[in-house]
Chain A
């Protein structure tokens, strides 16, 4: 007790790194911490899982097809279960756990990259439209134009047009990956752009921006130093929502048969492949569905916590 009271003033004298304050605030948000732990878990599960669980997700094992997950044996002694396939196998005998690991890699990669792409495009267009009055009309009408396009048919046309050239250039898997990420990215930046533009326009009239102008801060540093940090909150929120939409859009594309090839699992694809047998084998939609929704939920919570932690006005309260 006495030790801590003596140590206190010294700690104040030596300036503390601000990121520790951010971390302290983040830690106090229980949902965000739970979300972070789950996200780390699911990421490690997908990235390191295949190293430990060396079953090939594509390997067909007809003799062991339609195995139920091991926990079914608890109440149904007659069910076919096996510890070699703890989550069971599908109708072709492929291991579901290995498929979820492999599918998670693709889904998470698509989700993150498409979200980052959408946020980058949206923020850039929003900030430029909000800050430079002359470009506002042009950029916002362009945003309205893209917003008015029907998204799914557009994506389908893009897939048909660009699939083969991209496959030829980057290989079948990378080509499709680039195509899907780009397709989702450039069709989901509009909301971000609109929100950012509105916020930038309001911020631009604040006195601290005028103060920066009186110092002679040029436009690009005005944007990076004064405007972007202040529009961080809405960007963070749309980023978390964007990740969710990206994962779900990829599932929809896979379902329509225009996403990844059929022997290439993603969470959305596993889900849709097994919709027909949902009543007999609920676990086949339950596991990928849970993976998608829990990932989305945890990212939403993390975004919420980060937004609070990065705002010095909320921090420390």
Chain B
């Protein structure tokens, strides 16, 4: 379907993650929530791929499935040259140091019964054979790298602010020198001034350690700031993937257009001139997606074919992928 570029660190092909729904007296399977339904993309080494979309479109599930925190329904995932789509969890353990994750809620992602030192140390305990003093030194180095005072090592997570907790989470993700980090809305739970700090920290670390990010967010301006390329998701599918500048300057897919027009414009003179695309209706349920194109129920540019046939996800211009029937003739 798609040829993966030679320098891709992560390549995902036709990833599907369906959660079964059980109901009734005998808890029989009556359907499934298609949280991620056939997603394909590559992440090139050293880049940041932004993954945007509205709430519930499957962004986080996609990120977690790529790290195989779930047992995926179907598809191939290749990270650093190894196919991990169907391998068992015990075998995956050796792969874990390569791929790490930064979580959305810094409050919930840190064990309240462990000190900061113990939290950052956990990956070292699991995967390295360093001595106690070496581990301690490494923990201090990581705390320096993310800008936490070494004196805080013996404190518990609840003694920290949201931004500091997120730094603890980032330090833990960095402990094993990973190549690929999935940032699952790392800034969503933080206030604006702290958001900038954390994003800048992520950028600095990327430069310093040569990291590759999958940056999941619903904050379009933050994604514009950090991402090299951006993928837009709608109802479990990627509708458009393009380099950042091209996507923000000239969105191709009607959903991307609507999404970008919702970004507030700070200049009042421009804001009044700006044309907003306001979508009607709600997102259909991922348990019962519409026939044809997933977006056909709300699309301003809907055609007859959209309601019967699913659009193919393909490259319409070099480096720009779109799944829409409007580009069939190209």
Asked whether A212 is an interface residue with its Cβ less than 8 Å from the other chain, the reply is yes
Within A205-224, which residues are at the interface with B (CB < 8 Å)? 206-208, 210-218, 221
Chain A residues with Cβ under 8 A from B93's Cβ?
216, 218
Closest to A206 in B: B108
Instruction: Contact check, B156 vs A312: say whether CB atoms are below 8 A apart.
Output: yes
Asked whether B153 is an interface residue with its Cβ less than 8 Å from the other chain, the reply is yes
Closest to A205 in B: B108
CA distance A294 to B25 in the complex (A): 49
Asked whether B122 is an interface residue with its Cβ less than 8 Å from the other chain, the reply is yes
Asked whether B225 is an interface residue with its Cβ less than 8 Å from the other chain, the reply is no
Chain B residues with Cβ under 8 A from A312's Cβ?
112-113, 156, 158
User: Which of these, B69, B101, B113, B115, contacts A230 with CB under 8 Å?
Assistant: B113
User: Which of these, B67, B112, B127, contacts A313 with CB under 8 Å?
Assistant: B112
Within B88-111, which residues are at the interface with A (CB < 8 Å)? 90, 92-93, 96-97, 99-101, 103-105, 108-111
Chain A residues with Cβ under 8 A from B96's Cβ?
214-216
B33 → chain A, closest Cβ, in Å? 16
Closest to B97 in A: A216
The winner among B67, B111, B115, B127 for most chain A CB atoms within 10 A is B111
Instruction: Contact check, A214 vs B126: say whether CB atoms are below 8 A apart.
Output: no
Which of A11-19, A85-93, A156-164, A279-287 forms contacts with chain B? A11-19
Within A269-317, which residues are at the interface with B (CB < 8 Å)? 311-313
Instruction: Contact check, A213 vs B113: say whether CB atoms are below 8 A apart.
Output: no
CA distance A18 to B117 in the complex (A): 12
User: Which of these, A15, A211, A225, A311, contacts B101 with CB under 8 Å?
Assistant: A211
| Tally of chain B residues near chain A (CB < 8 A) | 34
Chain B residues with Cβ under 8 A from A311's Cβ?
113
Instruction: Contact check, A217 vs B126: say whether CB atoms are below 8 A apart.
Output: yes
Chain B residues with Cβ under 8 A from A217's Cβ?
122, 126
Asked whether B237 is an interface residue with its Cβ less than 8 Å from the other chain, the reply is no
Instruction: Contact check, B172 vs A211: say whether CB atoms are below 8 A apart.
Output: yes
Instruction: Contact check, A18 vs B115: say whether CB atoms are below 8 A apart.
Output: yes
Asked whether B291 is an interface residue with its Cβ less than 8 Å from the other chain, the reply is no
Instruction: Contact check, B127 vs A216: say whether CB atoms are below 8 A apart.
Output: yes
Q: A207-B105, A313-B112, A313-B158 are in contact. Are A215 and B123 (CB under 8 A)?
A: yes
Instruction: Contact check, B122 vs A210: say whether CB atoms are below 8 A apart.
Output: no
Q: A210-B69, A217-B122, A217-B126 are in contact. Are A15 and B108 (CB under 8 A)?
A: no
The winner among A211, A221, A313 for most chain B CB atoms within 10 A is A211
A residues lining the B interface (CB < 8 Å): 12-13, 15-16, 18, 206-208, 210-218, 221, 225-226, 229-230, 232, 311-313
B residues lining the A interface (CB < 8 Å): 64, 67, 69, 90, 92-93, 96-97, 99-101, 103-105, 108-115, 122-123, 126-127, 151, 153-154, 156, 158, 169, 172, 176
Cross-chain pairs A/B with CB under 8 angstroms, 17 sampled: A15-B154, A16-B154, A18-B154, A206-B108, A207-B104, A207-B109, A210-B109, A212-B122, A214-B69, A214-B99, A214-B100, A215-B100, A216-B126, A225-B111, A229-B111, A229-B113, A312-B158
